[in-house]
Structure 1
């Protein structure tokens, strides 16, 4: 990434497009024929399968090749300086279907708990209201006749797991492979000692180690166990196999090509669930990505359910609701909104504004969530749809343990049908609060 782009990102001026193109290939496209034609035209289109076993080579393919073809998904990413040549080649092969610009994607960071300081102040002075940004938002004009449930931290588990009903069930995701595509993982975290963790980086020049923290936090929610020796549980599918794909840099930034690489890798590894707490903001009345939607459908046909965060762009206490982010706005990707411990929609959680796709499908705990973090801190409390998403992914792994023969589409249906209805608009929370199988 060039220094100017890094400055833009760090200064808050986030670029949207990389200059590359995503191309959807026809179902009968032949990688062998494409490669032969490319060689004749002095172009290098790298098949993703040739790079999976060597991390450094895989990373180089994105910068040194003229394009890379993700064979499982029938998607090509074409570098800007050769896009017309490659498209002409694909047209001649009758392999070209349609194209989209490649986007930058970002870790969907919510409210960091400086709220730890707020909690200390509350305890010191006896304050009993929520910290800034964590409240339930404006009360509805006509309050529901039955008050929604309120969840608390207990000696057994943090409130998010209590909201799922996770302690009432016996399923822990055992035997299920779950992928977290994010900023990587702090692999030496003591709470993961002895666990099955497979990690791979798709970021040029960076290992799978998480120098950001976001990925470690999401992984802990999805498949973590208990906090140190305290016995307090914070992870959902605590016996699932964890597959970590680093698709966002240590600055929390990635692009479609890295995301696609991580998704294809996860599918190739046999992961039944992919959790993605990442995205790019979308304007109202904007259509979802056809390419992501198509490949998510392909992944489901292969047995893998993709779950993504709805986004944190809203300011509901100011009357502002923003549209569900890319790629969670795709109909074939399960989009997750965030709830607070009072079962109300989080102030920042995006809503299903776009009628053609872009719905919130389900909701999970997403305000003041405790989980693992990079050392030396070890733990952090964060808020965001980023936190809600791995809760849903963890429950999906629990359901796959309970119903090992179920297809990805059947697991989607079970997540929806087993969720806890809430007296809130489906636009904001979809089918309701995700629930663990009993």
Structure 2
């Protein structure tokens, strides 16, 4: 199936692989050498630089040839039915180093129905004054430094929704002004009234679909990252309200994409000079599985180029049922900042994935991710959602604030500042990493 084709997510198990291959190229690979070697294997590979002028151009590279080469990241995506040619190229080990299967990726919506039991328990606790929480599962045995005895509780106010209070954003004047921040997701509801005066740079990488967001997920994430206030109410919900928004539609209106579309969006964002990329998307992985070496190398190269990639840890856990799942692809890569989700009581969200895999797959930091208010598609224009998808753009917005405060900081330095300034919590490092993300002071 073509990675750019929009389709409804099937019930039951989601498909994992597209049939295409991702191939990492050698550091000294050039299109001239790649062309010569691919020609010998009867492959026609197009450079991504030749397909920049229109949204459909990346798709043409797949339709008119056998794959595409993302030159900036030295990654080739080769269409299905070329197993023998790929083996031949990998065996030669000149420009072609190693390969991985291309995956489908999905918008990381929170499990709206599965949270009912947890929300009901919390409501009963508040109603009847019950102090005891559901029992912790699989506690982290590692010793910890002394932490605050009572984790903070945050509420919505007339000034801002609870997520921004959790970040302590209102205590500073940083708005991410002038910082380019990319949200790679299902697009953006371009006519949203809260963004009427905002300039956006947009591009779609989905066949037959404009950037306009019919799903809503991308609009919600963009609002958290760079939105402002809700209509004329003055209630703030966006983190970096003056950052420059770049919207890459890499997931269809059904909330589905593939590695090649994500790679195209990432390359575009880096070339546009975005300092932060927020990706609330992913694919489930098994415990004890390895992360993608290709994505990890790509993220490392992006950091060297000045771009920090921030990814959602995933929503596969059901902690109230005794199950913690591993951090999703691609956030499980060591060079991608993985974000877990917290509720307003500073507790780990029931669905938030944990750092189970010692070989990568750690949670680096946590953000507000339960019952988060933000912008939404027409006609509602606003929605309250839960998920590590919501926590991720909060962290991305704080990264933009840090870059406003420290414009000369490298991507790695921004990463370090995010984790160093995080608010410690009396929770396992496995679940929240350094703790609750905090705006710069």
Under a length normalisation based on structure 1, what TM-score does the superposition of the two structures give?
A: 0.92
Q: Tell me whether 1:410 sits opposite 2:413 in the alignment.
A: yes
What is the CA-CA distance between 1:397 and the residue it aligns to?
0.3
Q: Tell me whether 1:342 sits opposite 2:311 in the alignment.
A: no
Task: Determine the structure 1 residue equivalent to 2:216.
Answer: 213
CA distance in 1, matches of 2:381, 2:111: 18
Cα 1:40–1:287 change in 2 (3 A) is: closer
Larger deviation: 188-197 or 353-362? 188-197
Deviations 1:65-121 (A, max 9, x none): 2011010110101111224325534655701111111111100000449999x99x9
Secondary structure, counterpart of 1:81 in structure 2: coil
Cα 1:113–1:401 change in 2 (3 A) is: farther
- Identify which of 110, 135, 139 aligns with 1:138: 135
- Identify which of 288, 292, 297 aligns with 1:289: 292
| Paired residues for 1:12-411 under 5 Å | 12-38=12-38, 43-89=43-89, 92=92, 94-112=94-112, 129=126, 137-138=134-135, 146-411=149-414
Under a length normalisation based on structure 2, what TM-score does the superposition of the two structures give?
A: 0.91
Larger deviation: 170-179 or 8-17? 8-17
Q: Which runs of 4+ in 1 moved over 6 A?
A: 5-8, 113-116, 140-145
Unmatched tracts of structure 2, length 5 or more: 141-145
Aligned residues of 2:20 and 2:80 also touching (Cα < 8 A) = yes
Aligned residues of 1:24 and 1:76 also touching (Cα < 8 A) = yes
Secondary structure, counterpart of 1:381 in structure 2: strand
CA distance in 1, matches of 2:371, 2:189: 21
Aligned residue pairs, count: 428
Unmatched tracts of structure 1, length 5 or more: none
CA distance in 2, matches of 1:139, 1:355: 21
Aligned residues of 1:34 and 1:90 also touching (Cα < 8 A) = no
CA distance in 2, matches of 1:79, 1:35: 16
Alpha-carbon RMSD: 2.7
Secondary structure, counterpart of 1:370 in structure 2: strand
What is the CA-CA distance between 1:128 and the residue it aligns to?
6.9
What is the CA-CA distance between 1:324 and the residue it aligns to?
0.4
